[in-house]
Amino acid sequence: MNAVSKDSQAQAISKSGVNEMADQKIQEVDRSFYDFKDDESKGFYRMKEGLTKEIVEQLSEEKKDPLWMRQFRLKCLDIYNSLKVPDWGPSIDGLDMDRITNYVRSKSDMKGNWEDVPEEIKNTFDKLGIPQAERESLAGVGAQYDSELVYHNLQKEVADQGVVYIGFEDAVSGEYQDMVKEYFMKLVPPTDHKFAALHGAVWSGGSFVYVPKGVHVEVPLQSYFRLNAKGAGQFEHTLIIVDEGADVHFIEGCSAPKYNVANLHAGCVELYVKKNARLRYSTIENWSKNMYNLNTKRAIVEEGGRMEWVSGSFGSHVSYLYPTTILKGDNSHCEFTGITFAGAGQNLDTGAKMIHIGKNTSSYINTKSISKGGGISTYRSSVVIEKTAKHAKASVDCASLMLDDISRSDTIPAMDVRTADADVGHEAKIGRISDEAVFYLMSRGISESEARAMIVSGFASPVSKELPLEYAAEMNNLIKLEMEGM
């Protein structure tokens, strides 16, 4: 991050004797931190815009796909052309697929040693703190730049446990090809919606994770996705299989610089949690505000398994994002904790879906949404209790905070309960920052803008406290950035 001068720091610290370090961090955050970009004309390969059979075949050739994957891509293209654009959320009329490039990559191959990554790409991820995070607290790291992984590494002690964490393309063509064929786009079939079919046709990059039976990975795995190219799409595929009794935490980070044309993110995440296994999947998305984020995430949980989602959505022009969990096995459980911050020019349609199938299943959705500057935040949830889900328990708690009188917040919950032997509840709250709370903090020597930022950070604390320290700090910094000028 760009630091301010020493004099400015001293002024920041002297503003109040209360929470001096918090004041300093507010001053140090540079609004343009994520907005730097690299010159794409140097060392990059870019396919032409649009989506045709010829382009999909060219992409498949570029990826050296096995025959089954090439055929799958072409089948998905046919499905894509047959489906209508989803009509349940905000308008995406500004997205013109004829002007989107579906594949951009560096001319450098993926590296297993950070020092071998091209300098301009390495500088990008250095700014984002990826190598530092790897050294300090992560078991494995994958870094994707535009359409391809540029770096991937797994700590030896984790690999010695039998954990597999590799680039998805390596899994498709290598020794794990049969496992990929068994699971790939089975949870999210291309017929699910138009952009799932698009993903199946043009996916590129992503991660494959397999955690063997009984293995507990003590420190997180992480993938970071950076979309640098103008007018491009990113379509990474993440497939994670956590075998019986295993446990892992996977972290995903996303960012992109801002352009004056549309960019598209239509990734796909498929998570398989086996009997008595546990998976925590944490995400902080900070896409630029010209991004259409049409991502699909889905998990299926077997008997006694546990799925935990932690999600922070701070960027994009329009988002459709509803992580879905299928509680298939008896006594399986899921928790979803999420926050969405919609500022000026943003229309973020987010939420979660829970499908209870097994007996004694339980789920809890806890979401927070914040809107300011005319931003629109819509919480959309779906809880389905099937006839077989005897004694299921489901609870939904969503709270919205509007920071001015020109923003909007909507809550659209759906409950489909098909058995009388279930306990289902929903609670929703919408409000504004209390003038009394702001006045109280100001009476303690805190400025009005800092007081409001502190209140919003407190509102978001159920999410930040669930994140690893460095990601909680990033989320709080993003909130402070959004609060500037209030």
pLDDT in tens, 155-177: 788 889 999 999 899 999 999 99
Model pLDDT, residue 454: 83
Beta bridge partners of 351: 380
Q: At what angle do helices 435-442 and 448-459 cross, to 10 degrees?
A: 120
Q: What's the pLDDT score for residue 121? A: 56
**pLDDT on residue 462:** 76
Gyration radius from the chain CA atoms: 22
> b/e map of 111-147 (b: 16 or more CB within 10 Å)?
beebeebbebbbebbeebebbebbeeebbbbbbbbbb
**Residue 136 or residue 96, greater confidence:** 96
97-100: Cβ within 8 A, 24+ apart: 97/50, 97/51, 97/198, 97/264, 98/49, 98/50, 98/51, 99/49, 99/50, 99/231, 99/261, 99/262, 100/49, 100/50, 100/51, 100/231, 100/232, 100/233, 100/262, 100/263, 100/264
Q: Is the pLDDT of residue 1 over 50?
A: no
Tokens 């899921």 found at:
334
Task: Write the burial class of residue 52 (CB in 10 Å: 0-12 exposed, 13-18 middle, 19+ buried).
Answer: exposed
Q: Strands (DSSP E) along 116-173, which ranges?
A: 140-145, 148-154, 164-167
Token pair, residue 481, equals 């950035």
pLDDT value of residue 391? 97
Q: For 40-48, what is the mean pLDDT?
A: 69
Pick the residue with more confidence: 114 or 210? 210
Helix (H) or strand (E) holding 87: none
Cβ–Cβ under 8 Å, residues 306 and 364: no
The residues near 421 (Cβ < 8 Å, ≥ 6 apart) are 390, 391, 392
Residue-averaged pLDDT of the chain: 82
**Quick one: pLDDT band at residue 115, thresholds 50, 70, 90?**
low
In this prediction, residue 152 carries a pLDDT of 61
Segments in 245-399 forming alpha helices (H) = none
Share of the chain above pLDDT 90, in %: 50
Given this model, what pLDDT does residue 26 score?
27
27 pLDDT more than 50: no
CA-CA distance, 101 to 121, in Å (whole number)?
20
- pLDDT score of 20: 32
Confidence at residue 133, expressed as pLDDT on a 0 to 100 scale: 57
Task: Look at 114 and 94; give whichever has higher pLDDT.
Answer: 94
Is residue 337 within 8 A of residue 466, CB to CB? The reply is yes
3-class secondary-structure state, position 352: strand
Is 469 or 215 the better-scoring residue by pLDDT? Answer: 215
User: Which has the higher per-residue pLDDT, 109 or 91?
Assistant: 91
Dihedral sign from CA coordinates of 437, 439, 444, 445? positive
Q: Percent of the chain beyond pLDDT 70? A: 76
pLDDT of residue 7: 36
Q: How far is residue 152's CA from residue 142's CA, in Å, rounded to a whole number? A: 4
**Residue 389 pLDDT greater than 60, yes or no:** yes
- Rounded Cα gap, residues 46 and 49, in angstroms: 9
**pLDDT tens for residues 414-459?**
999 999 999 999 988 888 887 888 888 889 888 888 888 888 878 8
**DSSP character at residue 413:** E
Look at 434 and 96; give whichever has higher pLDDT: 96
Its sign, for the CA torsion 258, 138, 140, 250, is negative
The answer to whether the CB of 351 falls within 8 A of the CB of 377 is no
Cα-based distances in Å from 257 to 44, 231, 297, 322: 17, 11, 23, 24
Residue 483 has pLDDT above 90, yes or no: no
Q: For residue 288, what are its two tokens?
A: 């630029």
Q: Return the SS3 of 266.
A: coil
Mean pLDDT of the 166-194 span: 95
> Tokens for 472?
């909680």
Look at residue 28 in the predicted model and tell me its pLDDT: 29
Cα separation, 62 vs 48, in Å, equals 13
Mean predicted confidence (pLDDT) in 86-107? 87
SS3 content of the chain, % helix, strand, coil (to 5): 30, 35, 35
pLDDT at 140 > cutoff 90: no
What pLDDT score was predicted for residue 5? Answer: 34
Give CA–CA dist 369/459, Å, rounded. Answer: 9
pTM for the complete prediction? 0.84
According to the model, what pLDDT value does residue 172 have? 95
Identify the residue with better confidence: 3 or 385: 385
pLDDT band at 334 (very low <50, low <70, confident <90, very high): very high
pLDDT at 80: 97
Going by pLDDT thresholds of 50, 70 and 90, the confidence category of residue 120 is low
**Does the structure show a pLDDT above 60 at 110?**
no
Give the bridge partners for 409, in sequence order: 377
Tokens of 169: 């393309």
One-letter amino acid at 204 equals: S
pLDDT per position as a tens digit, 278-324: 999 998 887 888 899 999 999 999 999 999 999 988 889 999 999 99
> CA–CA separation, 100 vs 95, rounded Å?
8
